[in-house]
Amino acid sequence: MTSWSLIIYCGLITFLTRFSMIALLKKEMFNDRIREVLSYVPSAIFPAIIFPAIFLDNSGVLDIESNPKVIAAIIATVIGVLSKNILATIFSGLISYWMLIFLFNF
């Protein structure tokens, strides 16, 4: 498969995952119970991207002891919960990460 056709297929898959439920589901198909469980979707999906990116090294091996990303992520979480501010969360995480690797040679 050429790079171009591969990209087009990936684009189609991406579009169809976004489109299918919107096109197929009807309003009546949802009761309060289902809606309540679905409200947990962000909490269920984002950690699947966050945790591996923080706890695993480049080769996919668990790294907790000598890992500046873990410390920076903890700082970002604390700042985030206290401030409820998206940007404060991201920048406190990035800045503490840079301090750890550049100033403290973590």
Binding site for other proteins (CB under 8 A): 1, 3-4, 6-11, 13-15, 17-27, 30, 35-56, 60-62, 69, 72-73, 76-77, 80-81, 83-87, 89-90, 93-94, 97-98, 101
Nearer residue to other proteins within complex by CB, 7 or 66: 7
Quick one: tokens of 54? 């923080």
Query: CB of 79: closest distance to other proteins in angstroms?
Result: 9
Query: CB of 103: closest distance to other proteins in angstroms?
Result: 14
Cα three-residue angle 70-62-52, rounded to 5 degrees: 65
Query: CB of 58: closest distance to other proteins in angstroms?
Result: 10
Identity of the residue numbered 2:
T
Round to whole Å and give the CA distance between 73 and 67.
10
Tell me if 69 sits within 8 A of 101, measured CB to CB.
no
Query: CB of 65: closest distance to other proteins in angstroms?
Result: 15
Ranges of beta strands (E only) in 18-77 are: none
